[in-house]
Amino acid sequence: MTITITAFENSPDRGRGLARDMRVRWALEEVGQPYEVRLLSFKAMKEPAHIELHPFGQIPTYEEGNLALFESGSIVFHIAERHAGLLPDDAGARARAITWMFAALSTIEPPIIERATARFQERDQTWYKQRLSMIDERIRQRLNGLSARLGDADWLDGAFSAGDLLMISVLLRLRESGMLREYENLSAYVARGEARPAYRRAFEAQLAVFTAASAS
Ligand SMILES: N[C@@H](CCC(=O)N[C@@H](CS)C(=O)NCC(=O)O)C(=O)O
C-alpha cells in the first residue's frame, strides 16, 4: 500500500531539515519503505481537506490505505512497530527505546521549541534577552542529564533505535544556538545520526523540495 506523507511546499527552514516531515522521512528510509510526499502551502494546511487529516492544520501527516495519522512521534512509532530496524525485539530493550522516544518529544523538545518561539515572536520585547537566558538554562539542565546518560556510547540504549532518531531530530533544532557545541558527546551523537545513509537520503529529498520551490 502506498504511503503518503505531507510536507511544506516551501519550508520556512529553507531546506535545513528541521521541519517535522524530516523525522518521518528518516524513519521510512531507515526501514526501507518507499513513500510519496504531498506538498502543502500554508493556506492549504488550514483548509478543510487537510484539517480532516490533521485537526491542527499542520504537517506532517501519514496516509496508508484507510489509515491516516498525525503527530510525528506517533507516525514514527507506527513505522517502527510495523517494520524491522527501529525497535529492538527484546521486550525490555523495546520498552526502553520507546521511553527515549517519549523523552525526546516530551522532555527535550518542549524547551527547544520554546526557544524557537521566543526568537521568532518575542525578540522585540524589552524582556527578550532575560527570557532567552532563562530558557537556555532550562535547555542546559536537560542537556546535562542527556549528556551524562549518553556518556561515550554511540546510541542511547544499545543499537540505534527510533528513540535516537527522534532525539537527534530534536537536538538538531539547537544547532544554530551554538549550545550543542558545549557538549562534545552530544555533538558527536548528532553527527553520527546525520552520517547515517538513511538520514542523508531523507535530508536530500527534503532539500530538493526547497531547491525546486526557490527556483520556480
Ligand atoms: N507535535 C506536532 C507538531 C507539528 C508541527 O508543529 N508542525 C509544524 C511544522 S514542523 C507546522 O505544521 N507548522 C505550521 C503551523 O503550525 O501552522 C508533531 O510532532 O507532528
What pLDDT score was predicted for residue 216? Answer: 81
Beta bridge partners of 70: 61
- 59 C-alpha to ligand 1 centroid (Å): 5
Helices (H) and strands (E) in the chain, counts: 10, 4
CATH T-level topology, domain 91-196: Glutathione S-transferase Yfyf (Class Pi); Chain A, domain 2 (1.20.1050)
Ligand 1, atom 13, lies closest to the CA of 58
- 186 C-alpha to ligand 1 centroid (Å): 25
Written as nine digits, the cell of 52 is 480532516
Q: Which residues are within 8 A (CB) of 118 and not within 5 positions of it... i.e. 6 or more apart?
A: 128, 131, 132, 135
- 205 C-alpha to ligand 1 centroid (Å): 19
Inter-residue contact 112 to 174 (CB < 8 Å):
yes
Domain ranges of the chain: 3-85+198-215, 91-196
Please, what are the averages of pLDDT over each run of 10 residues along the chain (216 residues)?
A: 96 95 98 98 98 98 98 98 98 98 98 96 96 97 98 98 98 96 98 98 97 89
DSSP one-letter code for 163: H
Give the separation between CA 7 and CA 61, rounded to whole angstroms. Answer: 8
Exposed / middle / buried, residue 121 (Cβ in 10 Å: 0-12, 13-18, 19+): exposed
Q: Degrees (nearest 5) of the Cα angle 96, 20, 216? A: 155
Ligand 1 shell residues, CB under 6 Å = 19-20, 45, 57-59, 71-73
Structure pTM? 0.97
Give the separation between CA 169 and CA 1, rounded to whole angstroms. Answer: 27
CATH T-level topology, domain 3-85+198-215: Glutaredoxin (3.40.30)
Integer angstrom CA distances of residue 177 from 24, 107, 108, 181:
24, 18, 15, 9
Ligand 1, atom 12, lies closest to the CA of 58
